[in-house]
Amino acid sequence: MSIESAVVVVVGAGFAGTTVVSALSSKLDSSKYHIVLINPRPYAIPLPASLRLIVSEAANLERTALVPLDRIYRKASGEIKIGIVKSIEPKDAQSGGHVVLETGERIPYEILIIASGSIWKGPIEFPLHETDVLPHIRTWRSKFANANHTVIVGGGALGVELAGELKDEYPGKRVTIVQGDRQLLNSTYPSSFRRGLATRLLARGIELLFNEYVDSFPEQGSVGLVTRKGTEIPDADLVVSARGPSPNTAFAASLGSSTLSPSGFIRVKPTLQVVDHPRIFAVGDVIEWPEQKQAAKVAPHAKVVVQNVLNVLAGENDALVSYQGSAELIVITNGRNGGMSYFPFLGGITLGDFWTRLLKSRGLMIVMFTFCSNLGY
């Protein structure tokens, strides 16, 4: 990096962050710009692979699902900064600023892109420090192996896919999903699709408990669970949270009271610039936008952000493009060999086991992640 190089900082190495870095690294002049990708670990963990990773030792996903980031800059000047962001210190609305790490290190930026993703509770709440990740994986594998009746709290995509992985690994053990709604997933998707998904889970012996809530989780080692309505599951010996995530945006509160919504999402303009901060962009799960949070949104988000970053750097603020939203599709696994997919085109297209296996269940989108992110693995 030359002394004169302008720095573009990207926070987060999930689907969104790595896609943006890959695209920018192929478009920015490396003699003028330097990219810094900040991530707590030197590798990315693609979310679609995370459930099988924490359930199955036989799948040996440690070799492929912990994707190193060291090849992402094959075409540009850049670096990987291992660290956790504490706050952001912009100079003013028309110039850059600094990203402050928990260590106190201050990283300058001309452009900042926030792609810090979501915070999950339960099995896929991976530790931030690299040395703790493999022990976390082994601990959860052991918990699932030792349980006879796993109760999954939450019937969204995470809960459904976890149930499928458990039935693959332990077909003789009981698995129950407790869902607060009257159907799986949510009303974004057609009722017929949600019913079909439930039918497939029931056919595998997965039990479904609808219109029920779990307010408190039993202490580790105890057996039995009682729902809010008083329904008893006396032999539940492992209760797992699969509730929806929260945005990983606490550090962005340092930008001012107008930055975060009450739910913690980052308020953005249609250009995906953070409100009141034209040199800061947000992408992926962190943005406040009326759509489902999923990897399928990354490509259209990244296209807008990359184009607008280039425009801002070129001083062409009148040429900014706007995000128009994305189709609400879903590809949801039911173990290694099955699942259902929905595409809202031509009146709605539903695909079953064969196509879902090809799209996601078999490879868990790891190859797609490494290809789209230009990681070279």
Whether 179 contacts 142, CB under 8 Å: no
* Predicted pLDDT of residue 367: 74
- Please tell me the pTM assigned to this model: 0.95
Whether 46 contacts 375, CB under 8 Å: no
* Burial class of 243 by CB neighbour count within 10 A (0 to 12, 13 to 18, 19+): middle
pLDDT digits (tens, 9 = 90+) for 171-219: 999 999 999 999 999 999 999 999 999 999 999 999 999 999 999 999 8
* Predicted pLDDT of residue 60: 85
C-alpha triplet 119, 242, 138: angle, nearest 5°: 80
Give the single-character DSSP code of 219: P
Q: Which parts of the chain register pLDDT below 50?
A: 1-3, 377
Nearest C-alpha neighbor of 365 from the set 294, 301, 306: 294
Each residue of 125-160: b (16+ CB within 10 Å) or e?
Answer: ebeeeeeebeeebeebbebbeebebbbbbbbbbbbb
* Predicted pLDDT of residue 2: 46
Mean pLDDT, the chain, integer: 94
The full set of domain ranges for the chain reads 6-40+83-120+245-325, 130-244+328-371
Q: How far is CA 319 from the centre of its chain?
A: 30
Phi then psi for residue 77, to 5 deg, are -85, 120
pLDDT digits (tens, 9 = 90+) for 243-267: 999 999 999 999 999 999 999 999 9
* Predicted pLDDT of residue 221: 87
Q: Which CATH superfamily, name and number, covers 6-40+83-120+245-325? A: FAD/NAD(P)-binding domain (3.50.50.60)
* Predicted pLDDT of residue 363: 87
pLDDT digits (tens, 9 = 90+) for 46-58: 988 999 999 999 8
* Predicted pLDDT of residue 220: 85
- Highest CATH level, class, for 130-244+328-371: alpha beta
C-alpha triplet 345, 349, 354: angle, nearest 5°: 135
Domain pair 6-40+83-120+245-325 / 130-244+328-371, same fold? yes
Give the single-character DSSP code of 266: B
